[in-house]
Amino acid sequence: MGSEQFSCNTQGCARTCYRKIALTPFLLLTFQALAAYDINDVPLGATEKDLKRHFPQANCRPLEWPSRAADRRCDDSRVTFAGVDASVTFYLRRNAVEGFDVRFDHRDLEPVLKYLRARYGAPALEGRGPVRARWEDKRKDGAERAVLSSEKGRRRASLLVSRGTFEDEIYKVR
C-alpha cells in the first residue's frame, strides 16, 4: 500500500515520482528547522524531573527574587553543548522550563553558531554586535526564541532560549 507512493513503473507517473523524491530534502530541512529549542534533549516546557534525569548534577532551588517569569532555577556548571564545555541555568515556572541560559567561552562561538544553524536553520537575524544571531518560532502560543550573544571584551558568550515574555519579565523586581 505505502510502497506505490514511490513506485514508477510507467512513464506517465515518472514525473509525479520525480516531484515526490525531489521534495524530500526540502521536507527534511523544514522538519529540521521546526525542531524544538532544547539543550541535550531538555526542551522548553520540560518538568524539573525531566531536567534532573538529563542533568543529575543540577542544583535546583527557589528563585532569589520574585518574578512573573520563573519561580525556580536549576544550575549545572559542567555540561557539554554543541561539543563545547558550558554551564547552564534553567528557569522554571509552575514546574515547566520557561527559559534556559547556556554560557560558554567566547572562543567557542563559531562552533556553537554552526551547530545551531544545522539544528534550527538560518537565523531570523544575524549580526556582528552583541546579538550574534536570533532564531524565532512564532507559530506556537507564547512565541519561542533563541538568542546567541557575545559582547566584545567579555570572556563568556551566551545562548538564551525562552518563550513568552520571559526576557522582559525575568529581571523585573516585584
pLDDT in tens, 83-116: 999 999 999 999 999 999 999 999 999 999 999 9
Across the strands, what pairs with 102? 88, 159
Q: How far apart are the first and last CA of the chain?
A: 60
pLDDT of residue 173: 65
- Average pLDDT for residues 131-150, to the nearest whole number? 84
CATH number of 38-169: 3.40.1000
Instruction: List the chain domain ranges.
Output: 3-33, 38-169
pLDDT in tens, 152-168: 888 999 999 999 888 88
pLDDT of residue 168: 80
